[in-house]
Amino acid sequence: MSWGAVIAGAAAAAALSFILLILGVGLGLSSMSPWSFNATAIGVSTIVWLAFMQLAASGIGGYLAGRLRVKWSSVHADEVHFRDTAHGLLAWAVATLITVAVLASGTRAVLSGAIEAGSGAAQAAGQAIGPAGAVAASKAGEGGASHAGNPLDYFSDMLLRAAPAPAGGVAPAPAADTGANTADQRGEIGKIFATSLSTGNLAPDDRAYLGQLVAKRTGLSQADAEARVDAVYNRAAKAAADAKAAAQQAADTARKAGAHTALWMFVALLLGAFVASLAATWGGRQRDHERVLRQVSV
């Protein structure tokens, strides 16, 4: 083995890959979306550029590995062909390892960006319907960032709205509540809704209790208050179901995008290995031919 030739070819291939990567980013052919939750598969231009990078870099690296190796004067022609092929393959392998080591962060961004998109969407849905939502709701009465970020506050406010005035009449007078009481009620409603959404149904005693809160707050009758509780809970359940479906769709899209990207990267790397091996045989054959010509001329 001519390890000097192998390392020289690998260094040339890795450097050329880096240069072509920078060129591709500058031309917009190999750039990825800057958004954190991007689940789009790579496009045709990126696939073509990856293949071209492997063809050019691996071809140059393999040719140098074959051309710079020592002369095997006492080796059979078939063995020379095999060794040249091995030199090209090793040059490609070393160059690939160097490129992965140098561009580790960029490789991770390409392969895991789509997966992170699905996990981010799933986490957002979980905050609305799962334990995270319950924790946020339990802190809703404390004010501050937790209160502002509770996804169930909208439905709590909807439940505690003043009753609309009938046509030509006067709306029922709501009970006088302080701001602290309102915050406590919002937090309690948020916890009840979070628990009910996680179990899939609103318990009858919770429904009756919420109806009492609404009746006291808005001046509605108990029956009308419970009817409002049912309507608001159904809207909250629909919103939670839509969020869950969106999270599942995002995760599925991310999985498909990740598989698509990995498949084409595999094809490009396999193409590079073949081209490097083939180019090394060309380089080795050219070197032996030049040596024979010099000997004949002498």
CB 129, CB 197: distance < 8 Å: yes
């895991």: which residue's tokens?
112
- Residue 112 pLDDT class (50, 70, 90 cuts): low
Task: Determine the number of helices (DSSP H) and then strands (DSSP E) in the chain.
Answer: 10, 0
Q: Quick one: which of 95, 103, 85 has its CA closest to 7?
A: 95
Task: Look up the pTM and report it.
Answer: 0.57
What would the two tokens of residue 144 be?
């501050």
Count CA atoms closer than 13 A to 231's CA, side-chain side.
10
Average pLDDT over residues 207-220: 85
Per-residue pLDDT of 118-142, as tens digits, reads 455 445 444 444 444 444 434 444 4
Give residue 76's pLDDT.
79
CA 104 to chain centre: 16
Q: Higher pLDDT residue, 99 or 275?
A: 275
Contact between 283 and 65 (Cβ < 8 Å): yes
Q: For the segment 257-274, what is each residue's pLDDT rounded down to a tens digit?
A: 778 888 888 998 999 999
Q: What pLDDT sits at residue 33?
A: 44
pLDDT at 12 over 90: yes
**CA distance to 42, 153, 202, 214, 232, per residue, from 157 (Å):** 43, 6, 18, 11, 10
- Cα torsion at 263, 268, 274, 279 (round to 10°)? 180
35 backbone dihedrals φ, ψ, rounded to 5°: -75, 145
What are the backbone angles phi and psi of residue 264, rounded to the nearest 5°? Answer: -70, -30
The token pair at 101 is 């080591």
Classify residue 79 by its DSSP letter: H
Say whether pLDDT at 225 is over 60: yes
Contact 9, 64 (CB under 8 A): yes
Name residue 19's amino acid. I
Q: What is the pLDDT of residue 290?
A: 67
Quickly tell me which residue has 């909250």 as its tokens.
Answer: 236
Q: What pLDDT, on the 0 to 100 scale, is given for residue 177? A: 52
Residue 63's pLDDT is what? 94
Residue length of the chain = 298
Q: Which residue has the higher pLDDT, 183 or 116?
A: 183
Rounded to whole angstroms, the Cα distance separating 127 from 129 reads: 6
Over pLDDT 70: what percentage of the chain? 69
Cα 233 to chain center, whole Å?
33
C-alpha to C-alpha distance for 35 and 37, rounded to whole angstroms: 6
Q: How confident is the model at residue 41 (pLDDT cuts 50, 70, 90)?
A: low
Task: Give the model's pLDDT for residue 93.
Answer: 94
Distance CA 35, CA 114 (A): 11
pLDDT at residue 11 is higher than 70: yes
